[in-house]
């Protein structure tokens, strides 16, 4: 038998290895396009697509679902945005919990769980993030996507050297051109990210949404964390809510900067009549002091490096050895949303979300208790 030359054998093995990697990466890439199921609960009375409010989104990766929970009793309305940054998962999970369990008694609740749907289909480069994580529910385990801070570059490319915010002229790093929370109030004929922002802005205008809350997470060393960020028009509502929320958790109110543009709490407050608020919880996976960002760490929040940093006083929040888990972060979001509704006292009437779990109940039972079982 003729011996195969070494260089041919090496090249052949390399070709096989490349072929296998292409197949594996192809499967991984395709799986990132798969959206986790959402199970609308008894309070959901309708569903629309964002492209109804920005037709230029139809058929694109930016089009996304809007869930309508109409009590049938006239009153105020609230829009909840989850998934503005899909690598900040407690906002997304909180939004899904509302869709699957809440039944309003008065007014209307609108929920957009995947505000930047495109960003759910990719990870941030060089971060080593998991593609998905799981949460245990009463009827079994459910999986959820862990995405990126920004629109998938496959859907919007290239980034400019400098991002110029369209309505203000503010300049930022070019990568911010794919950040939905720098794109408001958006443009109908702009980039994909700007079109998403435009659609959300138009939805708020057309439905005269009373309160809009954007759910986020931030690193434990960040100065604005465990906080409500409020447009000046929403400051009274934020302050009234704070008085009640302080009884169960440490939280603060921050004023929306007037010179930082593109964010929900600034532009939606300026360009619409909605009371614009943003929530920030502390999440170790958002910072720069953590170890490996595994699927388990995303849910548990446990990280020995953040715990150690907390012992040295390097953080702006207390960080226990047990971590700041998904349930606690969702408890903050859900409790605040409920309190905003209770504290609102304006001409639009009332909004009552009905029976809602308390902060302590969510932490004790786990957020999985307030998600539907997999079907």
Q: Burial code of 213-245, b = ≥16 C-beta within 10 A, e = fewer? A: bbbbbbbbbbeebbbbbbbeebbebbebbbeeb
Closest CA to 107 of 337, 362, 321, 365: 337
Q: Is 375 a member of any domain?
A: no
* pLDDT computed for residue 362 by the predictor: 98
Count the domains in the chain.
2
Q: Tokens 């862990």 sit at which residue?
A: 146
The pLDDT of 107-127, averaged and rounded, is 96
The residue segments making up the domain with residue 12 are 1-31
* pLDDT computed for residue 126 by the predictor: 85
Kindly state whether residues 155 and 119 are assigned to the same domain: yes
Kindly state whether residues 293 and 267 are assigned to the same domain: yes
Q: Could you tell me the pLDDT band of residue 116, with boundaries at 50, 70 and 90?
A: very high
Which helix (H) or strand (E) segment holds residue 335: the answer is helix 326-343
Residue 206: pLDDT over 90: yes
The pLDDT of 358-368, averaged and rounded, is 98
Q: Is 284 a member of any domain?
A: yes
**What is the reported pTM?**
0.93
Kindly state whether residues 303 and 252 are assigned to the same domain: yes
Residue 86: pLDDT over 80: yes
Kindly state whether residues 137 and 249 are assigned to the same domain: yes
pLDDT-wise least confident of 21-25, 95-99, 221-225 = 21-25
Kindly state whether residues 139 and 8 are assigned to the same domain: no
Q: Quick count: other Cβ atoms within 10 Å of Cβ 315?
A: 21
pLDDT-wise least confident of 3-12, 124-133, 227-236, 277-286 = 3-12
Q: Tell me: the pLDDT tens digits for 292-309?
A: 999 999 999 999 999 999
CA-based torsion, 19, 20, 21, 22: positive or negative:
positive
Beta pairing partners, 106: 352
Higher pLDDT, 1 or 43: 43
CATH classification of the domain holding 214? 3.40.630.10
* pLDDT computed for residue 59 by the predictor: 97
Kindly state whether residues 86 and 17 are assigned to the same domain: no
Q: Is 310 a member of any domain?
A: yes
């Amino acid at each position: 038998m003729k011996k195969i030359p070494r260089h041919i054998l090496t090249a052949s093995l390399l070709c096989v290895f490349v072929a296998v990697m292409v197949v594996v990466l192809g499967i991984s890439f395709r799986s990132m396009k798969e959206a986790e199921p959402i199970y609308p609960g008894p309070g959901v009375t309708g569903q629309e697509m964002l492209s109804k409010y920005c037709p230029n989104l139809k058929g694109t990766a930016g089009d996304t679902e809007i869930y309508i929970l109409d009590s049938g009793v006239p009153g105020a309305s609230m829009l909840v945005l989850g998934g503005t940054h899909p690598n900040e998962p407690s906002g997304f999970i909180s939004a899904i919990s509302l869709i699957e369990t809440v039944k309003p008694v008065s007014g209307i609740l609108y929920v957009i769980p995947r505000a930047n749907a495109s960003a759910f289909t990719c990870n941030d480069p060089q971060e080593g993030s998991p593609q998905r994580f799981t949460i245990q529910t009463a009827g079994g385990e459910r999986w959820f996507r862990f995405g990126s801070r920004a629109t998938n570059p496959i859907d919007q490319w290239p980034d400019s050297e400098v991002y110029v915010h369209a309505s203000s002229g503010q300049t930022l790093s070019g990568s911010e051109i794919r950040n939905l929370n720098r794109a408001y109030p958006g443009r109908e004929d702009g980039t994909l990210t700007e079109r998403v922002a435009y659609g959300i802005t138009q939805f708020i205008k057309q439905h005269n949404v009373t309160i809009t809350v954007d759910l986020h997470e931030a690193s434990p060393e960040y100065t604005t964390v465990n906080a409500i960020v409020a447009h000046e028009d929403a400051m009274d509502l934020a302050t009234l809510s704070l008085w009640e929320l302080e009884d169960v958790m440490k939280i603060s109110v921050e004023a929306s900067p007037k010179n930082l543009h593109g964010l929900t709490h600034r532009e939606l407050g300026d360009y619409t009549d909605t009371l614009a608020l943003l929530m920030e919880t502390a999440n170790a996976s958002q910072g720069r002091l953590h170890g490996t960002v595994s699927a388990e760490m995303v849910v548990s929040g446990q990280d020995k490096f953040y715990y150690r940093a907390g012992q040295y006083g390097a953080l702006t929040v207390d960080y226990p050895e047990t971590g700041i888990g998904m349930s606690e972060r969702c408890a903050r979001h859900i409790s605040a949303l409920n309190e905003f509704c209770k504290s609102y006292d304006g001409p639009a009437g009332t909004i009552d979300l009905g029976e809602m779990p308390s902060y302590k109940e969510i932490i004790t039972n786990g957020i999985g208790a307030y998600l539907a079982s997999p079907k």
